[in-house]
Structure 1
Amino acid sequence: MITSGEFPGLDLPHIDASSPLDGLGPVELNHPVQDIDGDGILDTETTTGVEAMQVWTDYDHDGLADHVTVVEKDGDYAAWEFHHHPDGTSGWVRTDHGHL
C-alpha cells in the first residue's frame, strides 16, 4: 500500500495526469516490488485505478517516493519529482506531461 507520509495509514487520493499534487507531501512506499533502476534493491510500486496507472519510485531508498509517473487510459501522462526547496519547504514539481 502506498500512503501519504503526512497522513500515515491513509490511502492516497485519486491522482491523474492533470492533478496538481499541491499539498500532497511525502509519499511512503511500504512494499516496493520492482527494481526500476537495476541496482538490486526494490524501489518501485505501481498502482492502478479505473482510469490511470501510477508508478512510484524511491531512488534514494529512504522509504519515500522521489518520482511518480501517471499514465491515463486515454494516453495523457505526467511525471513529478519530490523536491526539497532551499527555503525548507518541500513538494511535488511536475517535470513532464503530454499525450502518448
Structure 2
Amino acid sequence: MVTSGEIPGLGLPDIDAQSSLGGLGPVELQHPSQDLDGNGVVDSITDNDVDSTTIWSDYDADGLADHVTVIENDGDYAAWEYHRFPDGTSEWRRTDQGNLEK
C-alpha cells in the first residue's frame, strides 16, 4: 500500500506488492545511480529495507520514473509502468504480480 512516509534520503513513496498506485502521480528520480537498460546513462534507483527491494527507473530520461518493481522478502513481487496521456492525465498500470516461490 502507498503510504505518506518516504524512503529516507531518496524522497520516494513507500510501496509494497499489494499497492494499487491509484493515487500516485509522477515520481521524480533525483539521483539515479544504476544503468539498468545498458545504454550508458544512469536511469534507476534501487532501495533495500528490512522488508523489500524497490527499483525505480526513468528510461526516457525526463527525470520521472517510468517503471517500478518491488520484491518483498516473502517472495511477493509486483511491477508497474507510468503512462501519460495526450489529454494531460496519467496513471500507474500494474504490469506484473506474483510470488517467486509459487
Question: 1:86 Cα deviation (Å)?
Answer: 4.6
1:44 has 2:44 as partner:
yes
Contact 1:34/1:44 (<8 A) preserved: yes
Structure 1: runs of 5 or more not aligned: 4-10
For 1:86 and 1:28, the matched residues in 2 are separated by: 20
Q: Which residue of 2 aligns with 1:26?
A: 26
1:17 Cα offset (Å) = 0.4
- d(CA) in 2 for partners of 1:74 and 1:26? 28
CA contact (8 A) 1:2 1:28 kept: no
Alignment length, in residue pairs? 92
User: What is the TM-score when the length of structure 2 is the normalising length?
Assistant: 0.83
Are 1:2 and 1:27, in contact at CA under 8 Å, matched by a contact in 2? no
SS of 1:74 mapped into structure 2: coil
How many Å separate the matches in 2 of 1:17 and 1:77?
5
1:2 is displaced (CA, Å) by: 3.7
Q: For 1:30 and 1:77, locate their aligned partners in 2 and report how far apart those are by CA, in whole Å.
A: 24
Q: Corresponding residue for 2:70? A: 70
Equivalent in the alignment of 1:92: 92
Question: Displacement, 1:28?
Answer: 0.7
SS at match of 1:23: coil
Where do 4+ consecutive residues of structure 1 move more than 6 Å? Answer: none
Q: Please give the alpha-carbon distance, in whole angstroms, between the structure 2 residues aligned to 1:46 and 1:98.
A: 20
How high is the TM-score relative to the length of structure 1? 0.85
Q: Is 46-55 or 25-34 further displaced after alignment?
A: 46-55
Q: Deviations over 1:38-60 (max 9, x none)?
A: 10000000112221111000000
